[in-house]
Structure 1
Amino acid sequence: MKSHQNSAGIAAAWNVADASSVVYYLLHGLQHRGSDSAGIASADGQNVQVHKRFGMLAESFNANRLAELGGQYALGQVRMATDSDIGTANLQPMMVRAHQGSFAIATTGMISNAPSLRKHMEADGLIFQGTSDAEVITHLIQMAPGKLVNKIETACQILKGPYAFILMTRHTMYAVVSRLAISQLYYVPYQDGYLFASETSAFGMFDVGEPIAIEPGQMIFLGRHGFTTRQMDVGAKYPCAMEAVYYSREDSLFQNQSVHKARQKLGAALAKGEDVQADIVIGVPDTAISAATAFARELKIPYEIGLIKNRYVGSTFVRPIKEQKENEIQTRLNAISSIVKGKSVFLVDDSIQKGKTAAYLCRLLKEAGAREVHLRIASPRIDHSCFYGTEYIPRQELAAANYELEEMKEIFHADSLRFLKLEDFEAVLGDSMCTACMSGRYFGKLYDYEFRKENENGRSI
């Protein structure tokens, strides 16, 4: 329940009736990934059109708007915004009108070498309307020679980092996952076509089979000849560990297991070796609830609902302005005094990044009458910057990178503090995932590292 990166959801429908409405419902299953903006583009074989705006999905679309979009093909995105990319030019799907024909694109993940690519393009006279990495992709595609499928492949050979995107023309669609598959894309057959989404929770309300992950370095092409695949590069899957901890919805899959079950296992592992006595366990809504209930069950002490979430306030990581993020921490959760008063409390959260939420919640519970607050984190210390997400956060802003455990305990006003050990975390989830923010183990060269460190507060794809 704090500011994390890598939060955008993309979805698409190919050759299905009322594709725009289908994508709308797919995006509903991804709304937790960002509520700053929503957009849908549609195609009917003749034209491509798009509607996008700031706000949540339901604020952006109604039945009339979806009927206007129509189409047999559609794609969409819901997204968070970082402090530096709140302009309308960054809203997606991004529409490109080129002499070869119009297309729309929706993206997730990150282009690691986007800053230097943008710098070279601007030096060559190319104009950017916004700050989104998606514009870098569209410029590379337009500059490359050959047919569109070849243009996309050429662009992908230049792009570095963990990204995924879906591109749609008036009669074709392309779904791409980079060779460094930290960002995922899934598809399922549906009606006479296919559905795509960046998280499996999107498929929940559709009668479909098991989602299939697009392979690293793979492009799926949908056109007159149906469904074809092209292996552009050899890669490997290293899904972001924070998907299991925070980003993904409980009914999604991570490494072929339920996210809810994975979080329960993390909570149970956290309880092993616990030497503090407390009266009750409280979980931070919503993403720490699964871990907290398992933590309580393992220790055989009561789990209580001691924090109430105001569901009419956005998540702390999906508001675009720093001051709004900090204010909303204080408005979206309330403590139930009758539950915590006079009690020694285990407060279980999913993770700590900057630590502002942790400090506020410990203080909130004590002001509500808690005698003690013992903070337990169901993931390892985040003490390295993420260079694979959508927002670069310097190490000097990460609590665990700058303070020892005892110092953090004092800063958070907690009576004790404990994180899940990395080896226990990997014992639950496996080690074939990206834990760079926890372990410092990065995958190869960190493209544009110095540029990003010195010149950026955060960018979104």
Structure 2
Amino acid sequence: MKSHQNSAGLAAAWNVSDASSVVYYLLHGLQHRGSDSAGIASGNGETVKVYKSFGMLAESFNPEKLAELDGQYALGQVRMATESDMGTANLQPLMVRAHQGSFAIATAGMISNAPSLRKHMEADGLIFQGTSDAEVITHLIQMAPGKLVDKIETATQILKGPYAFILMTRHTMYAVVSRLAISQLYYVPYQDGYLFASETSAFGMFDVGKPIAIEPGQMIFLGRHGFTTRQMDVGAKYPCAMEAVYYSREDSLFKDQSVHKIRQKLGEALAKGESEKADIVIGVPDTAISAAAAFARELKIPYEIGLIKNRYVGSTFVRPIKEQKEKEINTRLNAISSIVKGKSVFLVDDSIQKGKTASFLCRLLKEAGAKEVHLRIASPEIKHSCFYGTEYMDQSKLICANYDLDEMKELFHADSLRFLRLEDFEEILGDSICTACMSGRYFGKLYDYDPGKEN
């Protein structure tokens, strides 16, 4: 049993009025990180309450439900489920009734040694209700000695992998980022307290200052004494390169840079190596639009909207079931025949994993009348399984790992195919990023997981 990364958006508010409503709006800015479930916990100084359900945020909450979650403290999560953790027991935040008082916890990222920890705990008689990494953390915390802040630190010394979590009692809050800071948490002062989120896009509708990233191996503790930081371990920031390519919203920051501007730079770099000719450039909505527009500007040819996204159908990546992913490719994008008919088209996408979307889109454009489709990818080839990735995929399923460019071109029915060079990609994003899925290189000595072996 492998532990897979939990693609989730975390948000929290401490010491702000109507905190659950504030967290609700923060989570709206993170909905793209998962649409399978949503939950919010609140603390009012006396009790902790939790409400969570399957479905998107707007489907799960209404004003009446938020009013029941009263208090100045709140914690929430939106989440993508995998096939192995779709049960009700895995919905977060988890509520724990402990001898030191009730608390709620929500997680993001992945604990690479969770399977072995769970195995040992079960052998010692501990009972698990679900399969989430959050339960592993709660058991470790409850078994550790000392005050809650010390219990949390003790637990983090045992956990491995790129994870982040927020824990909330009836009046305190703890925000933790592991030393492998692939999963990030940001905070900003707000009113008389603070807001937290796993991506800076969440803060967009609030009048706040520049978001601050929690440092690797750091815990922020908020309680009667206000804001306190504790450095629990030495680490370094190696954010996942795919955050800049795909996962993050364009109005977010990646390493203090605008994601939108990064994607523009990727598109410009891709265009500089171009040798083919085409009439127009089309971008795949939504994550390839910035790169496609910059690609067109660099080549001085028109950028057109040739694909329309059905916004009432979720992303094919954030659906948990294989059959749903394959069917929804056919329903979420349509080609505009009047734009592409008789034209030679550059089709710019952000990345390719299994290649099903690329194949479908090339075929779709040709069926709509495109004379030629030249497929351009604004990131390097994904050739390696990532054991820290949001969705682990066996290397045998990664098309770039099993076919060369000419073979993929034929499989996609494209007239030509080209990816951004890895050296150009790393020059734009810098060297302190994780490009394991592209380069096969993890983060040097910080790499604490041996692929193919359980911790």
Q: Same fold (TM over 0.5)?
A: yes
- What SS does structure 1 have at the residue aligned with 2:210? coil
Contact 2:6 2:81 in 1 (8 A): no
Corresponding residue for residue 325 of structure 1: 325
Contact 1:112 1:448 in 2 (8 A): no
Corresponding residue for residue 273 of structure 2: 273
Q: Does 1:449 align with 2:451?
A: yes
Contact 1:385 1:393 in 2 (8 A): yes
How far off is 1:390 after superposition?
3.6
Amino acid at match of 1:358: A
- What SS does structure 1 have at the residue aligned with 2:242? helix
Corresponding residue for residue 422 of structure 1: 422
How far off is 1:450 after superposition?
2.6
- What SS does structure 2 have at the residue aligned with 1:208? coil
Corresponding residue for residue 176 of structure 2: 176
- What SS does structure 2 have at the residue aligned with 1:374? strand
Q: How does 1:389-408 map to 2 (within 5 A)?
A: 389-408=389-408
Aligned residues: 450
The structure-2 alpha-carbon separation of the partners of 1:183 and 1:420, relative to structure 1 and needing over 3 Å to count, comes to: same
Corresponding residue for residue 63 of structure 2: 63
| 129-138 or 51-60, which deviates more | 129-138
Amino acid at match of 2:419: F
Give distance in 2, aligned partners of 1:451 and 1:21.
43
- What SS does structure 2 have at the residue aligned with 1:418? strand
Contact 2:5 2:111 in 1 (8 A): no
The structure-2 alpha-carbon separation of the partners of 1:285 and 1:447, relative to structure 1 and needing over 3 Å to count, comes to: same
Corresponding residue for residue 93 of structure 1: 93
Q: Does 1:13 align with 2:13?
A: yes
How far off is 1:133 after superposition?
1.2
Give distance in 2, aligned partners of 1:177 and 1:396.
32
- What SS does structure 2 have at the residue aligned with 1:237? coil
Deviations 1:111-140 (A, max 9, x none): 111111111112222221111111111111
Give distance in 1, aligned partners of 2:274 and 2:36.
39
| Over 2 Å off, 4+ runs | 4-7, 443-453
| 443-452 or 340-349, which deviates more | 443-452
Q: Does 1:362 align with 2:378?
A: no
Amino acid at match of 1:197: A
How far off is 1:452 after superposition?
6.3
TM-score where L is the length of structure 1: 0.96
Q: Does 1:385 align with 2:374?
A: no
Contact 2:16 2:192 in 1 (8 A): yes
TM-score where L is the length of structure 2: 0.97
Give distance in 2, aligned partners of 1:296 and 1:380.
19
- What SS does structure 2 have at the residue aligned with 1:236? coil
How far off is 1:405 after superposition?
1.0
Query: Where does structure 2 lack aligned partners over 5 or more consecutive residues?
Result: none
Contact 1:80 1:317 in 2 (8 A): no
Amino acid at match of 2:21: S
- What SS does structure 1 have at the residue aligned with 2:152? helix
Give distance in 2, aligned partners of 1:400 and 1:251.
29
Amino acid at match of 1:218: Q
How far off is 1:449 after superposition?
3.3
Corresponding residue for residue 211 of structure 2: 211
Query: Where does structure 1 lack aligned partners over 5 or more consecutive residues?
Result: 454-461
- What SS does structure 1 have at the residue aligned with 2:303? coil
Corresponding residue for residue 431 of structure 1: 431
How far off is 1:343 after superposition?
1.0
Corresponding residue for residue 156 of structure 1: 156
Deviations 1:158-206 (A, max 9, x none): 1001111000011110000001111111100000000000000111111
Deviations 1:218-241 (A, max 9, x none): 000001111100000110001111
Q: Which structure would you say has the larger RCO, counting Cα contacts within 8 Å and 6 or more residues apart?
A: 1
Contact 2:379 2:420 in 1 (8 A): yes
Q: Does 1:226 align with 2:211?
A: no
Give distance in 1, aligned partners of 2:146 and 2:390.
31
Deviations 1:423-460 (A, max 9, x none): 1001111111111111111234453633569xxxxxxx
Q: How does 1:237-316 map to 2 (within 5 A)?
A: 237-316=237-316
Contact 1:281 1:346 in 2 (8 A): yes
| 396-405 or 123-132, which deviates more | 123-132
How far off is 1:243 after superposition?
0.8
Give distance in 2, aligned partners of 1:362 and 1:452.
40
Amino acid at match of 1:240: C
Amino acid at match of 1:38: A
Q: How does 1:126-137 map to 2 (within 5 A)?
A: 126-137=126-137
Give distance in 1, aligned partners of 2:25 and 2:174.
21
Contact 2:6 2:79 in 1 (8 A): no
Amino acid at match of 1:85: D
Give distance in 2, aligned partners of 1:450 and 1:428.
31
Contact 1:7 1:247 in 2 (8 A): no
Give distance in 1, aligned partners of 2:352 and 2:412.
11
Give distance in 1, aligned partners of 2:293 and 2:5.
26
Give distance in 1, aligned partners of 2:450 and 2:436.
17
